Structures are given as C-alpha cells and as structure tokens.
Amino acid sequence: MTADLEALVVAGYVFADEYLVPARPGRRAKVSDAELVALAVCQASIGISSDRQFLGLVGRILPGWFPRLPSQSQYNRRLRGLVELISAVQQRLAGWLDTGGVRLADGTQLAVASYPGCQQRSEFAGFARYGYSKSQHRFVWGVRLVLLTDERGTPLGYTIVPANEKEYEPLADLLTGTPAEVVIADKGLWGRNYQARLAADKTRLLTPDRTRTAANLGRERALASTRLVIESVFANLKGQMRLERHLAKTPAGLAVRIAQRILALTIGVLLNTLAGRPARALATYDGR
C-alpha cells in the first residue's frame, strides 16, 4: 500500500461526497455512493478489471478502510447507476485543471464481445461495429473512444462511437461543449472541408501534412511531439489501467469502466500538479 494510492482514494471520496444524490426508496445502503466512487477510482488505478477479484483484494490493499463491502453484483449494479455522478465529478476537476490553450484530439479502438455470433447475441449488437486496428493489423469488433485533452493530458471530454465511425462528428460534438482556438489531431482528421467547418466556429485544426518534406520537417516534428501527450494518455488508460481488458458485457458496463478510469486519471493529474510532479506520472498510484 502506498500513500499516493491512499491520497487518490481519499480524493475520489471527498469530491464525490460533495454531490447530493437523490435518495433511493427502501433501506439506506450500508456503503455510500461516495465510498463506491472511491472504490471505483482505486480499482481503475491499480488496473484490476474483475470486480470480484478487486473486492477480494480491498481488505489487503486498503486494510480497515472499507469494513463493509457490497457483493460483486451489488457493486456492479450500483456503479452503473452512478456513472453520471462519476462523470460530473470528473468534469468538475477537469474544469479546475484546464488552463485553456491548445487542445489535443484522438481516438482509440476498444474490442468488446469477441465470441462467435457476438454480433447477433451480444448486448453490444446494434452499436459495436468492425473497425480496422492499425496497431494490431486486424479488424476489431468494438467501439471507438474519442478523447479531447489539454496540453498536459487532462481529459476535457470524451465520447464512444462504433469502431467504424470516423472522428469527425464526435470531435465536433466535443468541441461544442469545450470551445478551443487550436486543436491538434492526427491524420484521421484530414480534410479541407472539415477544417473549414471548424474554422467557422473559430477553431483552427492542425494535422500532419500528407507528405513530410524538408520545408515542413520542423512543423511535423513539433506536431508529433505535442501529439505524444494524448498518446501517452491512451497508454495510461489501456496499459496501467487495463482498459483494453475491461471485461464489460453490456454498453452500460463499458461506460462505467471508461468513466472510472477517466476519473482516476484526472485525479492523478490533479494530485501530481499540486505536488509539483509531471502531470501524467501515474505509476505511483498503482499501489505497488
């Protein structure tokens, strides 16, 4: 157990406890909503996708912190009902951290149910699609997570679309809620018409040129260096936090797993900023 992980869990509890959640009918729950959010942040930070496995480890990694724990089914069901609270807490923290300036945009694919016939029998049927994964050199049946961050890697907004959908419309929707003067993106957002569309809303879109020459070498290297920030954010989400192994069986379950990881990452950026550490140095919060 590390003090950094403790700070992350405490922050998750404190920020979630400030929100008033409408009371539910029936007996009062033994585990509060804020405690569940704190548990979700801890689970995301240490990268354990299995709810059952995580709940079995809580007593060891946080001894005495949670004397009462929900069952695996209760934990999963209640977290799905708290996804709006998790997102609200994250957006509030992102607002505190956001200092304006350049925005970074990118997307990554997440595979979902991958068994024979999943396109017809899975809960994701009708939403997930086949999309080509360049990193895996194969088609993946799943969704695409489109993310918008600031220059430090703080998530400012995100959305989930079918894996075969381009990032044009999702990014335009994200920019509606988070205005930006300059957005740096990858080659997937090439297009003069799209650049003109964003320019009409006073947003300048910068993407790599189709060919690299001696004349644009400096610009290309500068863009590539800046885009490494959002690529490292995806590395945090899919590496340390195991988002690629999310184990979600339904769209609602996937939404929770993404939201809890985005919140854990945002709290990590906040604590690092306060401590004077690199914003995305999140390995210190994995509990090792």
Q: Which residues contact 245 (CB under 8 A, 6 or more apart)?
A: 49
Q: Give me the CATH number covering residue 128.
A: 3.30.420
Q: How far is CA 183 from CA 91, 189, 234, 269, in A?
A: 19, 11, 17, 21
**Number of structural domains found in the chain:** 1
In the chain, the amino acid numbered 207 is T
Instruction: Report yes or no on 186 lying in a domain.
Output: yes
Give me the tens of pLDDT residue by residue for the chain, a chain 288 residues long: 456 899 999 999 999 998 766 656 656 678 899 999 999 999 999 999 999 999 999 999 999 999 999 999 999 999 999 999 999 999 999 999 998 889 999 999 999 976 666 677 788 888 888 888 777 777 888 999 999 999 999 999 999 999 999 889 999 999 987 888 999 998 878 888 888 999 888 999 988 887 777 877 888 888 888 899 999 999 999 999 999 999 998 999 999 999 999 999 999 999 999 989 988 888 888 765
pLDDT of residue 16: 94
Q: 157 lies in a domain?
A: yes
Q: Examine residue 105 and state whether it is found in any structural domain, yes or no.
A: yes
Pairing of strands 182-184, 103-111: parallel
- Domain carrying residue 162: 101-247
Q: Is residue 275 part of a domain?
A: no
Say if 156 falls within a structural domain: yes
Is 3 contained in some domain? no
- Cβ neighbourhood burial of 215 (10 Å; 0-12, 13-18, 19+): exposed
| 81 occurs within a structural domain | no
Asked if residue 117 belongs to a domain, the reply is yes
pTM: 0.92
